Amino acid sequence: MEFQWLFSKEQPQQIKSFLKEQGVSKGLLAKIKFQGGQITVNNQVENVLYKLATGDQLKIMIPDEGQHETMRPSDSPITILFEDEHFLVVNKPTGVASIPSQYHTSETMANMVKGYYQRMNYKDQVIHIVTRLDRDTSGAMLFAKHGFAHALLDQQLRQKQVVKIYHALVGGMVDSLLDHAEIIAPIGRDMSSLLKRMVIETGKHAETEYWLEKKKNDWAFVKIRLHTGRTHQIRVHFESIGCSLLGDELYNGSMEQGIMRQALHCSYLSFVHPFTGEKISIDSALAEDMQAIIG
């Protein structure tokens, strides 16, 4: 894959420092050098120590990534919400893990995306997950289609420029919910469980913003934006205020509404496309089991 820049600075600059400013890592430079890539200035091959001058046309050729040899492709279909040569956003169904593990080895979203890449004969077949979701959480999930794109989106994640909006159905003390509020409480491990997290004074800072969209006697429908990314953050924070997610057995959620998984859906995500500068916004329709409840 080829990327290019027109050098417009007045002062000369080494290629390696200029590329660092563009988000090209040392690892990617090493890959270009040792795995068949190339750097050219005005169509002449140069190394990273070359000093760019005003008006120079810099190009880098990044070698194809091939594939994860140990990850098995799946023939299961995927629902695509957005795709271009750099990014793929899919709609993840409930009950499907994001990545292979000891208990979920072959029918994860990563396996399904690899199968899709193979069917499309894409040259880059390494799976780069930018935003993963819990197994029982549904909705929009973002993949980068090559390592450079992944690195640039990781920068946006660290700078909180990737926006994810969730919708959830919660039960319990729903009359205590405000129209708009923040839950700010530290989250750490629950030492009584290998899986659970809890609000605990010694935990890491966590911040969840929510908006109340609909309320019945025994449930409420809320829109949520995370301002930090702790494990199980939404589930833990809503349990801490007495409003556990419906179906969330691990965090004491009600099982009486017919939902047998945490009622959580990633309904929207947006990011600034690092190669075009365009704001990309993607919506994901609410999962059917949640839609059936809110009507």
Residues with catalytic annotation? 134
What is residue 261's DSSP assignment? S
User: Residue 107: phi, psi to the nearest 5?
Assistant: -110, 50
What is the SS3 string spanning 191-255? CCCCCCEEECCCCECCEEEEEEEEECCCCEEEEEEECCCCCCHHHHHHHHCCCCECCCHHHCCCC
What is residue 55's DSSP assignment? T
**Residues 141, 268: Cα–Cα separation, whole Å:** 10
Q: Are 170 and 228 in contact (CB under 8 A)?
A: no
What is residue 85's DSSP assignment? S
CA dist 246 → 96, 127, 142, 173 (Å)? 19, 32, 25, 12
**Residues 20, 258: Cα–Cα separation, whole Å:** 52
At position 63, the amino acid (one-letter code) is P
The SS3 of residue 137 is coil
Burial of 111-127, coded b for 16+ CB within 10 Å and e otherwise, reads: bbbbbbbeeeebebbbb
Pairing of strands 128-129, 80-83: unpaired
Burial of 249-282, coded b for 16+ CB within 10 Å and e otherwise, reads: ebbebbeebebebbbbbbbbbebeebeeeeebeb
